[in-house]
Amino acid sequence: MSTATTDLVREGRTHPASPLVKAGRIVVGLVGVAVVNVRDTEHAGKWLPLVGLALAVFAAAAAYVSWLFTSYRIADGDVRVNSGVFIKRVRRVRIDRLQAIDVVQPLFARMLGLAELKLDMAGGAEGRVAIAYLRLADAQALRASLLAMAAGLDHRTPEAPERPLLQVSMGAVVGSALLSTAALIAFCWIGIVLVVVSVSGSSGIVGAALPGVLGVVAPLWQTIQTHAHFTAAESPDGLRLRHGLLETRAQTVPPGRVQAVRLVQPLLWRIPQWVRVEANIAGYAGRRADEGHQHNSTLLPVGSRAQADAVIARVLPGVDIADVELRRVPGRAKWRSPLRWWTFRAGSNDQVFAVRSGVLTSVHAVMRHEKIQSVALSMGPLQRLLRLATVHVHSTHGPVDVVAPDRDFAEAREMLDVEATRARQGRAAAGPERWMSAAPPADA
């Protein structure tokens, strides 16, 4: 099938209301900073609104000028975004290197019916290319076209139908946040503050402690906000995830892009038997600091073991992660890792390499052989004395680390050699990049 004649060609500007969204976010940010920092409320009441208005107008004007010079072009197998008033900038993504496309709607954009497309490229070191903002329907249609082209299909292929897989209830999201380690710290902190206030009788402490409490509570709120309304659906182009409270986000995760997967179970989650699934998804490398792991790497923020298995079955098709025989480390490892050594497990079968560890928070990480980037053996001085070594299986950027610490040295070398061999065999058998242009998979 020739893809050249069926590729999409389009060129144009983003939606005219885009500057409003950008200006709005800047203004909200500035107002937030001002509110937190203003001490002298008496005088502030007079000039703050004026200053705020001036800033808003300035921001809107700057955003409008920037918008005039921004355009995007889709042709010749790549997507180009041109921007910059004085210093021209062209950001380019090759369509067959597209890893993932997210549809993001920040609050202001959602109010105006707009959305942003974020394109991730394989090995993208400079960060994501964004087309901001388009009408929601246009953004979704464009995403469907680009994903179709990336998979080797005609761009007019209608967006594949999806089948809902699971939905995470708001109760589970809030409950899991309250049972997390961060929440525990927050509660301790609040508890200490309350005790100090009641004992000392002065409420001045509260003012001083407030930033600290906010600092601990804010990430919790961020977690709840990000994972609210989390739904997963399966479709031929991959796993479709939607989540978000104020800012909503829709991601499609093609199965081929998942590099490594892990199941995480913090201590308190054992009570309701909840588990979290995270993955290293190629193409989310080069992420800037302001976008946390949570946005892009969480396949299931909280769910039952059955739900986790369902999600994993979609991103690691044909793999039964319970099928791997996990071996323990020798007793002498206790001299190096006295607190955790008995939880270390590692093993591999024909398909994957798996490790487990964790006393309080249990982590089970799995990686397909053909996805490994490299594998390494390390031995520090203490390990040398104890005749132990650590095996590292390297994956792309993300929360999942596949490391088997403190193995017996001979076993570790054998693991390394076997892994290198299996990886080579796996890569030889792996399919092409435009994975849909190959024969359809046996399990539809």
Partner 1 sequence: MSGIEQAFASPTQEWSRVSEQLRAMRRAITFVVGALLLAILVIAAAASGVWLVLVIGACVLAVVTLAVLGVVDRNYRSWGYTERAADLLVTRGVLFRRLVVVPYGRMQLVDVTAGPIERKFGIATVRLHTASAGTDARIRGLPPDEAARLRDRLAALGEARSAGL
Q: Which residues bind partner 1 (CB under 8 A)?
A: 99, 122-123, 256-257, 259, 282-283, 285, 370-381, 384, 387, 389, 392, 394-397, 409-410, 412-413, 416-417, 419-420, 423-424, 427, 430, 432-433
Any alpha helices (H) in 6-103, and if so which ranges? 18-37, 41-68
Nearer CB in complex with partner 1: 242/434: 434
- Compare residues 92 and 424 and give the one whose CB is closer to partner 1: 424
Which CB atom, from 99 or from 176, has the smaller least distance to partner 1? 99
Q: How far is the CB of 327 from partner 1 (least distance, A)?
A: 17
Q: Which SS3 state, helix, strand or coil, does residue 258 take?
A: strand
Q: How far is the CB of 165 from partner 1 (least distance, A)?
A: 24
Structure tokens at 293: 């792991």
Question: Kind and range of the H or E element at 233?
Answer: strand 231-235
Instruction: Specify the 3-state DSSP secondary structure of 200.
Output: helix
Nearer to partner 1, 273 or 378 (CB): 378
Of 259 and 296, CB closest to partner 1 = 259
| CA 408/CA 413 separation, integer angstroms | 9
Taking the complex as a whole, the smallest distance from the CB of residue 138 to partner 1 amounts, in Å, to: 29
In angstroms, give the least distance from the CB of 419 to partner 1. Answer: 8
Confirm if 276 and 179 have CB atoms less than 8 A apart. no
- Using CA atoms, how far apart are residues 230 and 314, in angstroms rounded to an integer? 17
Residue 80 tokens read as: 């180009």
**Pick from 66, 77, 91, 85: which is nearest to 9 by CA?**
77
Nearer to partner 1, 75 or 410 (CB): 410
* Minimum CB distance to partner 1, residue 300 (Å): 22
* Closest separation in Å from C-beta 372 to partner 1: 8
- Of 227 and 371, which CB lies nearer to partner 1 in the complex structure? 371
Q: Which is nearer to partner 1, 12 or 317 (CB)?
A: 317
Q: Taking the CA atoms of the chain, what radius of gyration do you get in angstroms? A: 25
User: Angle, nearest 10°, between helix axes 41-68 and 18-37?
Assistant: 160
Asked if 18 and 113 count as a contact pair (C-beta separation under 8 A), the reply is no
- Pairs from 425-429 (Cβ < 8 Å, separation ≥ 24): 425/369, 426/368, 426/369, 426/370, 426/371, 427/370, 429/370
Minimum distance of partner 1 from residue 181's CB (angstroms): 25
Q: If phi over 0 gives left and psi between -120 and 50 gives alpha, with beta otherwise, what is residue 358? A: left
Q: How far is the CB of 101 from partner 1 (least distance, A)?
A: 16
